[in-house]
Amino acid sequence: MNEHKPDNQLNDETYFGYRKVAIGEKAKLVRGVFDSVADKYDLMNDVMSLGIHRIWKRVTLEHTGLRRGMRALDLASGTGDLARLMASLVGKDGLVVLSDINFNMLKKGRAKLDDLGVIGNVDYAIANAELLPFPDNHFDAVTISFGLRNVTHKEQALKEMYRVLKPGGRVLVLEFSKPVNPLFAKIYDIYSFTALPLMGKLLANDAESYRYLAESIRMHPDQETLRQMMETVGFNQVDYLNMTLGVVALHTGYKF
């Protein structure tokens, strides 16, 4: 069941998974989760999604509309999977900025891209999605994959994405969502709350962080709610594509 509540509904509190915490505490708690999982992040992504996350990101890449010479911003970039793919589209005359609020994750991403030889058209920035350190109308595309659900004030982050986009640019939000088949949704719930913490314990020695990740997915807005949030902050032609029976949805929107 989706239990997302608007950012302003809880006053001085917000949700960290299923737990209510002070607004000022959430960023620190999220940072602790990703500090803990950084070393095993890529491995756990492959195990938890059975490798399907690579397909989800490829589909996202196909919707960016990026061409040579363009600029793109990848928020909550983590270990840089999507940013690496976008760098190949914009070419040596373009630029992709990898950003993350977590230093350890960004460090892992930079080391990974350096090892892969992705240099020259990429830059790196520690950035809070709610207060981006970039000028207005700067990027041709802004992406965020599996990161929006960890943001405290999602509406504010969406406003910032809109601000830094050029007119004609597009935003792409790839995130876990609400399965569309009721039977599959029940199976997915069992998997999320039993298998994910167990795999976290066995592979990363951290069951609690992966329990939080499962909870954060359930607390994230469903497909229609997120569409409405994007429209409210100004995005046009907002639409979404369900993948894997709605386990993941790719939302797209434009700035006119």
Q: Global pTM?
A: 0.89
Amino acid at position 104, single letter: N
**In the chain, beta strands by DSSP E:** 13-16, 19-22, 71-75, 95-100, 122-126, 139-145, 165-176, 236-243, 248-254
**In this structure, what token pair is assigned to residue 61?**
């890449």
Domain boundaries, the chain: 7-180+210-254
pLDDT score recorded for residue 8: 45
Q: Write the pLDDT tens digit of every residue in 46-104.
A: 877 888 999 999 999 999 999 999 999 999 998 999 999 999 999 999 999 999 998 98
CA distance 12 to 31: 20
- Tell me, what's the pLDDT at 9? 45
pLDDT of 11 reads 57
**What angle (nearest 5°) sits at the alpha carbon of residue 228, between those of residues 178 and 177?**
15
User: Which residues touch 233 (CB under 8 Å, ≥6 apart)?
Assistant: 155, 158, 159, 162
pLDDT digits 0-9 by tens, 204-217? 787 887 788 888 88
Report, as ranges of residue numbers, the positions in the chain whose pLDDT lies below 50.
1-10
* The CATH number of domain 7-180+210-254 is 3.30.470.20: no
